[in-house]
Amino acid sequence: MSIQAEQRNAGELDVTYGVDGVVEFDSRIQLENFDSNLLWVDGQDRALLMIKITDDQSAQEYPALRRYLSDGQPDQAFGMGGIVRLDRSIVPSPTFRFNVARRDDGRILAVCSTQEGEGAFAIYAVQYLDNGQLDRSFGEQAVAKVGSFTSPIEAIHLQADGKVLLAGENAGHGLVARLTEVGALDASWGNQGVQLHHFGEGNLVFFQALPLDDAARGGVLVLGNDTRDNGDTGDMNSFVIARLLPDGTLDSGFGPEGNGITRESFPTVDKGLQWIQLIVQPDDTLLVTLSIAQAQTHMWIWQRQFTAQGIADPAFNGGRPWLDFFQGGQTGSGLKTVVTSDRKIVMAGYANPVLTFNVPAVIRYLPNGQGRDTAFGNGGIAAVDRWPEVVAQAYGLAVQSDGKYLVLCSRRPGGGALFRLFP
C-alpha cells in the first residue's frame, strides 16, 4: 500500500516520488562504471542516467542512457520507452568506458573508450538530440573519432562556448584533449587539440578537467594523480591540482610555488582510495573531497579547501584538512559530492548499520570544515534501508530545482534504483 503522508524532515524520503519514494530498475539494468558521473538533472527536473543494459536475445551488455520525468516515471519521449542504447552500429567495438555530459539545450554528448588491443583505446564521441535521436550535425553523422590513447578517458566536461574537455592519461602523461562543438580536435589547444603534462617521476593521470569560463581567468583546472609518491603499494596517496591557460600550458599564477601546480598528500590505509573529486565553488574556492577505506568496516572522509590561486584556505578548518572517521556499524563512504547554494557539502555513499549489508546513504557536512550537519538525517547521515539482504550503495547525486536530493544507487542483486530526499 502506498504511503500517503509526505515527510518533510531534512533527510527524509520523499514518498511522492516513484512508488513510496523509490524508482526500482529491473535486473537487466545495471549502473555503468562507478568512477564517472552517472546522474544529471535538467531544468525540468528530468533525471538522465548512465547505465548498461543486457539485451534479452543476445545476452550482451550495452552502454545506454535512461531518462525519467520529475515524478519518477520513464520519459516515453526519449528514445524507446525512455532508453537510448549505444550499440555497435554506432561505435564499432565494445565500449570499455562510457562518459556523458549534457548541454544546456538538452543535447547529450557521450564519449566512448573502446579497447583496440593491449594498452590501446580508440576514443569516439557521439551526440544525441534531447529526444534521444542521433544529432547528425555533430561529427560524421553524429559520430566523431577523437583519436587513440594508451588509456581510456576518465571524464568529460563542457565549456560555456560548447567545446568539450576530455581528461585522462597517455603514455604516462596527464592528458587533456579539447573538441570543438562539432566534434573536431581544437587546434587552438595544446598540440592540435591534445595537451600532455608530466610533473616529475611516475605516471600522471588526470581525473577531471574543469573549465574556468569567466573572462577574467579562462583556462582549465585539472585534478590528477602523480604516482611518484605511491611507494611500493601502487595505492594513490597524493593528488595534484593544476591550472592551465586557455592554450593548455601551465598558469604560473597558480600554486604555492607559482608553477601552476598544487600537490597534496593524504593518509594511506590498506583498502585505498574509493573516490576523489574537485569542485569549483561559487566564490571560486576549490574543494577536494575523497574517501579512503580501511579494512571492511572503517572509512575516512577527507576534505580540504584551497583558494582560487591554489593555496590552502585558512577559512576552512584553519587551512588544514578536515577528517571524518566512520567505524563499526556506522561505516560511511562518500562516492559523489555536490555543494549546495548555501555551501553545504553533500555526499552520496553508503552506510553499514549491521556490518553485513551496505545500504545507500547521503552524508551532509557544514561549510568550512565545521563537521557533519546534525540537522540532516540521523547525525548528518540519511540512510535508505529498503532492500534487506541486498548490497546497495549510492553512486549518483544531483540537486533538483526545488533543492531536493535525487540519488542513484546500485543493488546487487537486483539492478539499481532512484530515490529522492528532502534537503
pLDDT in tens, 66-91: 999 999 999 999 999 999 988 777 87
pLDDT value for 16: 94
Give the mean pLDDT of 350-354: 67
pLDDT for 232: 45
Phi/psi of residue 229, each to 5°?
-95, 10
Confidence of residue 1 (pLDDT cuts 50, 70, 90): very low
pLDDT, one tens digit per residue, over 216-252 is 456 899 998 866 544 444 455 788 999 999 889 999 9
Reduced to 3 states (helix: H, G, I; strand: E, B; else coil), residue 371 is coil
Average pLDDT of the chain, as a whole number: 85
Give the CB-side neighbour count of residue 313, counting CA atoms within 13 A.
22
CA distance 134 to 142: 6
In degrees and rounded to multiples of 5, residue 158 shows phi and psi of: -100, 135
CA distance 96 to 53: 14
Residue 400 scores a pLDDT above 90: yes
**Binning pLDDT at 50, 70 and 90, where does residue 124 land?**
very high
pLDDT band at 5 (very low <50, low <70, confident <90, very high): very low
Q: Which three cell numbers stand for residue 306?
A: 584551497
pLDDT score recorded for residue 241: 95
Mean pLDDT of the 329-354 span:
77
Position 233: which residue type? T
Closest by CA to 333, choosing from 267, 273, 384, is: 273
Identify the DSSP state of 80. B
More confident residue, 256 or 62: 256
What whole-number distance in Å separates Cα of residue 40 and Cα of residue 380? 24
End-to-end Cα spacing for the chain: 25
Q: Reply yes or no on whether the pLDDT at 282 is more than 60.
A: yes
Rounded-to-integer distance, Cα 354 and Cα 76, Å: 39
Q: Which of 228-237, 263-272, 303-312, 325-334 is predicted least confidently?
A: 228-237
Local confidence band at 269 (pLDDT 50, 70, 90 cut-offs): low
Q: Which residue stretches of 136-269 are H helix?
A: none
Who has greater pLDDT, 88 or 112? 112
Q: 139-148, 178-187, 217-226, 310-319: which has the minimum mean pLDDT? A: 217-226
Q: Which residues pair with 265 in a beta bridge?
A: 238
Q: How far is the C-alpha of 3 from the C-alpha of 15, rounded, in Å?
A: 7
In sequence order, what are the beta bridge partners of 411? 392, 415
Tell me the three state secondary structure of residue 258: coil
**Which of 58-62, 98-102, 179-183, 200-204 reaches the highest mean pLDDT?**
179-183
pLDDT band at residue 278 using 50, 70 and 90 as cut-offs = very high
Q: 301, exposed or middle or buried, with CB in 10 Å at 0-12, 13-18, 19+?
A: buried
Lowest mean pLDDT among 115-129, 153-167, 325-339: 325-339
Q: What value does the mean pLDDT take over residues 139-158?
A: 92
Residue 290 has pLDDT above 60, yes or no: yes
pLDDT beyond 90 at 330: no
Mean of pLDDT values over 387-396: 77
pLDDT at 332 over 60: no
How far is Cα 208 from Cα 33, in angstroms, rounded to an integer? 15
Among 111-115, 180-184, 191-195, 414-418, the minimum mean pLDDT is found in 414-418
pLDDT digits (tens, 9 = 90+) for 33-58: 544 568 889 999 999 998 888 777 77
| Most confident by average pLDDT, 274-278, 287-291, 346-350, 400-404 | 400-404
Check whether 209 has a pLDDT greater than 70. yes
Name the residue with higher pLDDT: 253 or 326: 253
> Among candidates 205, 61, 192, 186, which has minimal Cα distance to 125?
186
Q: Could you check whether the bond before residue 388 is cis, i.e. omega within 30 degrees of 0?
A: no
Predicted confidence at residue 329, as pLDDT, reads 47
